[in-house]
Chains A and B, each alone.
Chain A
Amino acid sequence: MKDFALMMIGAALVNNVILARFLGLCSFMGVTTRIDTAAGMGLATTFVITVSSMADWAVQHYLLDAYGLGYLRTVTFILVIASAVQFTELTIRKVSPSLFQMLGIYLPLITTNCAVLGVALLLVEGHMSFIGSTLFAFASSLGYSLVMVIFAGLRERLALAQVPRLFAGPPIAFIVASLLAMAFMGFSGISTG
C-alpha cells in the first residue's frame, strides 16, 4: 500500500509527465490559455491515459509477451490509443458540445500526444503489475492535469499583466513554464531524502 502511494506521488509530482519528462508539451502550450479548457483537456487526457494503459498492459502481457511479438509494441499501442481517443471524442461531443468546440483540434491530437504513448512505454519498462500500472498511469495523468491547470491559471493572470513588448505572448509563457519546471524540480528532493 505504502509502495503504491509513494509510486503515485513519484509519478504525479517528482517525475511529472510535462515538467520532468517533457512529454505532451504541445497541448501544454496549446490549450492552457483558459482554466476550463485546460481542466477539460486534463480530464480527457486522464481518461485516455488510464484506459489505454490498462488495455496496453493486457496487450503487452497476453499478446506481445506471450507470443514474442515485442517488435509490434509501438504499432499495437498506437492502435489502442487511437481507439481510446476516438471514443473520448465521441463521448465529449455528446456530453459537452461547448468543451468539444473549445478543445477543437487538440482533442484528436491527444492521439499524437507523446505523454500517452510515453506513459504506456514507461509501464512496459517498469514491469509493473496490472493494479500498479493502472495506478501509475492514473497518477501520471493527474500530474499532467495538475500542471495544465496551474499553468492555465498563471497564463490567465499573465494575460492581464504588463509585459514588455519584446516578451509579450508566447515568449513570456515559455519563461513562466521554465520557472514552473524549476519549482517542480524541488519535488525531486522527496525521492532522495
Chain B
Amino acid sequence: MLIAVGSLAVMGLALGGVLGVAARYLAVEENPIEAELQAMLPGSQCGQCGFVGCAQAAVALAKHEAPVTLCPPGGKALAVALAAKLGIKADLSGVADTGPQLATVAEEICTGCCRCLKVCPTDAIIGAAKQIHNVIREACTGCGACVERCPTEAMTMVPVPITLQHWVWPKPVVAVA
C-alpha cells in the first residue's frame, strides 16, 4: 500500500519536474500583442484581408507587415482601434466608412438554395432547402461572404437599424484637424 502510493507520487513528481524544466527550456516566445490583436478582429475568418484567417492577419499586423485598414468587416472603427493598439498613425483615406452593416435576406427574391448558409463563417443564416432564409442578427459579423454567393442577389448588406435598445446619445462633433 505504502509502496504503491509512494511510487506513484514519486513518479508523478519526477515526471512533472521534467516537464516543468522542459517547458522552461522549450518555451516559445509569442508576441503577446498577437493574441490581443486577434481578439480585436471579428474572428469570422472571412478571408477578405487576403490572409487565411484572423490569426494570420493578427500575426502580420503585429509585424507591421499589413496595414491596419486590412479588415473590411471591421471598418473604420477597427482600423482606428488597431492603429491605437499598435501605436502607429492610420491612413484612413481608403476606408469608406459605411458604419456597421448586417446581411439581410430579401424574402421575395430568396429561392431557398441554401448556398449562403454554407459560406457563412459564423452560422448566422438559418433556413432549409426551398425555405426562405433569414439572418440571425446577433451572430452576423457583416463579412459579406453571403452577398457574393447568392445567385439571386437576395442578400444585401444594410446598415444596422437604430432601435430604442441601440440608440445612444451622439458624441459632440469634434472639428477634424
Contact = CB atoms under 8 A, between A and B. Distances in A.
B139 interface: no
Which 4 pairs from chain A and chain B are nearest by CB? Answer: A83-B15, A90-B26, A94-B26, A67-B3
B107 to A, nearest CB: 31
Which label, helix, strand, loop or mixed, suits the secondary structure of the B interface? Answer: helix
Contacts of A83: 15-16, 18-19
Which bracket fits the contact residues of B? 10 to 19
Contacts of B3: 67, 69
Contact of B4 (A72, A80, A90): A72
A93 interface: yes
A112 interface: no
Nearest to A67: B3
B131 interface: no
B12 interface: yes
B4 A87 contact: no
Given A67-B3, A72-B4, A75-B8, A87 B28 contact: no
A86 interface: yes
Which label, helix, strand, loop or mixed, suits the secondary structure of the A interface? Answer: helix
Interface string A89-105: 01101100100000000
A90 B28 CA distance: 9
B7 A67 contact: yes
A145 to B, nearest CB: 23
A76 interface: yes
B7 A63 contact: yes
Contacts of A86: 19
A75 B22 CA distance: 23
A79 interface: yes
B23 interface: yes
Contacts of A59: 11
A92 to B, nearest CB: 10
B4 to A, nearest CB: 5
B11 A87 contact: no
Interface in B102-125: none
Contact of A69 (B7, B23, B26): B7
Contacts of B7: 63, 67, 69, 72, 76
Nearest to B7: A63
Contacts of A63: 7
Contacts of B15: 79-80, 83
Given A75-B8, A83-B16, A83-B18, 5 more contacts: A67-B7, A79-B11, A87-B19, A90-B19, A93-B28
A58 to B, nearest CB: 11
Contacts of B8: 72, 75-76, 79
Nearest to B55: A101
Given A76-B8, A79-B12, A93 B18 contact: no
A75 B4 CA distance: 11
Interface string A58-80: 01000100010100100110011
A94 B11 CA distance: 26
